[in-house]
Structure 1
Amino acid sequence: MAAVERLGEYRLLERIGVGGTAVVHLAVDSHGREVAVKELREELAGEPDAKRRLAREILAQGKVTSRYVARLLDGDVEGDRPYTVTQYVPGTTLRESVKAYGPLGGVPLTRFAREAAEGVAAIHAAGVVHRDLTPGNVMILGGSPVIIDFGIAYEARAGQETRPGILIGTPAYLAPELVEGEAVTAAADVFSWAATIAFAATGRPPFGTGSLHGVCFRILRGAVDLDGVAEPLASLLRLALRRDPDARPSAAWFAGELAQWSLEPMLARTG
């Protein structure tokens, strides 16, 4: 019989994801509950910079409380195998779901957009910027979004900046200020939220595909493709995709606007 692999108190069941810096396992905790364990890759486990980034991820995600954001449960960066433990979200990512079943529309799309905005607003209320909100980092659970992967998130008050020529994040969903290496604020997440919702509505990245240079050029020029996104959602997304980060309303504002839309039919029926 093969030995049971453990990491801390967690029994590892199977690999469910592999990235450039970490491996994600489906695991079971001491109470028999399924969790997701993200472990630094073996070749990075002893690297101080990698461990600092993991510690920053734990600090950032641990501040956030929302039903639309995966909960941080545990973590250890001091052992031989540094890891984090988060809520396990069964199901598929938004990217996988749209690829398999097609874009969202109508009431389900409006609800999904509102709930995702609420999740982003909760991240910002905790003083955190996610920096990598994409269709691949939004899980779908019961039709609702759950934001995952705080690998490059940081505390907004830290005032971190990107560096020109070095892109951190998923290029097709990056705000223009990240492309240009300017200061990163919560407004960058608002831009990425809108780009992600545009993908949910159309099945296409809103700034196209192809070369990195071409995608970044369209982002900087504001050449967004919202063809097929119905009004008034299209106009709302254009507000969030404004070139100037100071001109974008907050995630909480968008959540409130979308919540009003869901109330209007009920008010009409009871009026």
Structure 2
Amino acid sequence: MPSSMSDPLENDAEPFVETDPSGRFGRYNELLGSGAVKKVYRGFDQEEGIEIAWNQVDLQNFSGDERMVKRIQSEVYLLRSLRHKNIIALYAVWLGRENNTLNFITEVCISGNLREYRKKHKHVSLMALKKWARQILRGLEYLHKHEPCIIHRDLNCGNVFINGNVGQVKIGDLGLAAIVGQDHTAHSILGTPEFMAPELYEEDYTEMVDIYSFGMCVLEMVTMEIPYNECDSVAKIYKRVSHGIRPLALRKVKDPEVQAFIEKCLAKPRERPSAMELLKDPFFDDLEDLV
């Protein structure tokens, strides 16, 4: 073949819309998901030959707040050092000067998020649900025992991802987590209303807000319903949460052991067990240690 001819396979390849400064990671135009401040695209790691998730935060949302931009940037850089089998790995971070974005590369789970996976597979045993729950707790324990302590603040089944072929669960969307000081308290509102602990609305909270959200995740896994779906506005959710009114979905949990476990997680902040304590709960006694 003449050297001037290009490789036909190369011509058929899907083009990158963007590459990182090192040229290692490429972004495709396919959107995997989007939120209030972030979009997630399908990407590729040319060095490792694996697909990745390219996360892009539009810093225009924080225009005029240079301190917030620097804080987000420094927190994402710290998250890059996290390594745990139940936490989505973060590989690279950089600022896109041209389009004023913060970009970070994370691993991608083949089966997507736990919410969609659970809807797809309706026949899941309690044993399997416990295995998923325990893995989420192991990830939370790692975050909460980290120095400094890291609070996820937006834990829900849409932010938990799964490799369904091996049943491995990983906590994701850590890009905007709160990193707190010695007193383990944080003071800004962030989260998904249906999963937010009452004290989160008061802007004075600890890592125990993640335990509350975890309880709501277990509730969603069991019932396949997003908590408080009986409410048609954030204001109504807030009113119920602040008054300690449980979501109607909790009434659909027929197993008393499961209901009691969820209630432990939804208790008042000082009465909530830590992730480490919950891992020792009798709820998990029938699981093998290998999982």
Q: 1:4–1:97: structure 2 CA closer, same or farther, 3 Å change rule? A: closer
Partner of 2:178: 154
Partner of 2:169: 145
Secondary structure of the residue aligned to 1:114 is: helix
Deviation for aligned residue 1:78: 6.7
Find the aligned partners of 1:42 and 1:129 in 2 and give their Cα distance. Answer: 22
The within-5 A match list for 1:30-49 is 30-31=46-47, 32-41=49-58, 43=60, 48=66
Amino acid at match of 1:17: G
Partner of 2:237: 215
Deviation for aligned residue 1:240: 0.9
Find the aligned partners of 2:225 and 2:213 in 1 and give their Cα distance. Answer: 14
Residue 99 (structure 1) aligned with residue 114 (structure 2): no
Name the stretch that deviates more: 77-86 or 7-16.
Answer: 77-86
Would the aligned equivalents of 1:103 and 1:201 in 2 still touch at CA under 8 Å? no
Would the aligned equivalents of 2:79 and 2:90 in 1 still touch at CA under 8 Å? yes
Find the aligned partners of 1:86 and 1:74 in 2 and give their Cα distance. Answer: 8
Q: Percent identity?
A: 23
Find the aligned partners of 1:51 and 1:113 in 2 and give their Cα distance. Answer: 33
Deviation for aligned residue 1:256: 2.2
Q: 1:154–1:59: structure 2 CA closer, same or farther, 3 Å change rule? A: farther
Find the aligned partners of 1:105 and 1:194 in 2 and give their Cα distance. Answer: 18
Partner of 1:119: 139
Amino acid at match of 1:248: R
* Higher RCO structure (Cα 8 Å, ≥6 apart): 1
Residue 72 (structure 1) aligned with residue 87 (structure 2): no
Once the two structures are superposed, residues 169-207 of structure 1 have per-residue CA deviations (whole angstroms, 9 ceiling, x without a partner) of 1000000101233x2211000000011111110112333
Partner of 2:217: 196
Deviation for aligned residue 1:248: 0.4
Deviation for aligned residue 1:236: 1.4
Mark the runs of 5 or more structure 1 residues left unpaired by the alignment: 265-271
Larger Rg: 2
Would the aligned equivalents of 2:186 and 2:205 in 1 still touch at CA under 8 Å? yes
Would the aligned equivalents of 1:44 and 1:50 in 2 still touch at CA under 8 Å? no
TM-score w.r.t. length of structure 2: 0.79
Find the aligned partners of 1:134 and 1:144 in 2 and give their Cα distance. Answer: 16
Q: Give the root-mean-square deviation of aligned CA atoms.
A: 2.6
Deviation for aligned residue 1:221: 2.4
Deviation for aligned residue 1:122: 1.1
Would the aligned equivalents of 1:70 and 1:148 in 2 still touch at CA under 8 Å? yes
Larger fraction in helix:
1
Mark the runs of 5 or more structure 2 residues left unpaired by the alignment: 1-10
Partner of 1:262: 287
Q: 1:146–1:43: structure 2 CA closer, same or farther, 3 Å change rule? A: same
Residue 19 (structure 1) aligned with residue 43 (structure 2): no
Deviation for aligned residue 1:64: 3.0
